[in-house]
Amino acid sequence: MSWPSSVAIRFLTLEQIHAIHRDMVARYGGEPGVLNASMVESAAAMPQAGFGDSYFHSFPFGMAAAYAFHLAANHGFADGNKRVGFVAADVFLELNGWELPEAGEAGFRDLILAAAAGAGNKADIEAFLAEHAVRTA
């Protein structure tokens, strides 16, 4: 399902994604830095991808899933890719009036781990978010 691009969606910037990475490394440890800038840029752009006046990913869950899946699977950062994918999706949802209750975080984490290992898919992440996220605004 596409979403008209005329709707005001708050996407994360590349700078915000890098800030999330720095924060995750500072909080939980790991190697700072970027292994492949193109992979980070590609993952950051995926939720905004579209054709004409429609996006390829549904709003908000398909777009959040795109952040989570591509940041985790692309392995663009030296370390923390799964955490960055998880947090980027969560922040995107929050920016757009949704939240993932803590009770759903463990299942979401499992989907991110599967995506990073090449065993998961974006559709499963989207379905999980649609089932568990709660509207806040």
For the chain, the distance separating the N- and C-terminal CA atoms, rounded to the nearest angstrom, is: 22
| 5, 51, 94, 125: CA torsion to nearest 10 | 140
What is the tens place of the pLDDT at every residue in 26-76?
999 999 999 999 999 999 999 999 998 899 999 999 999 999 999 999 999
pTM, full prediction:
0.91
For residue 60, whether the previous peptide bond is cis, meaning omega lies within 30 degrees of 0, is: yes
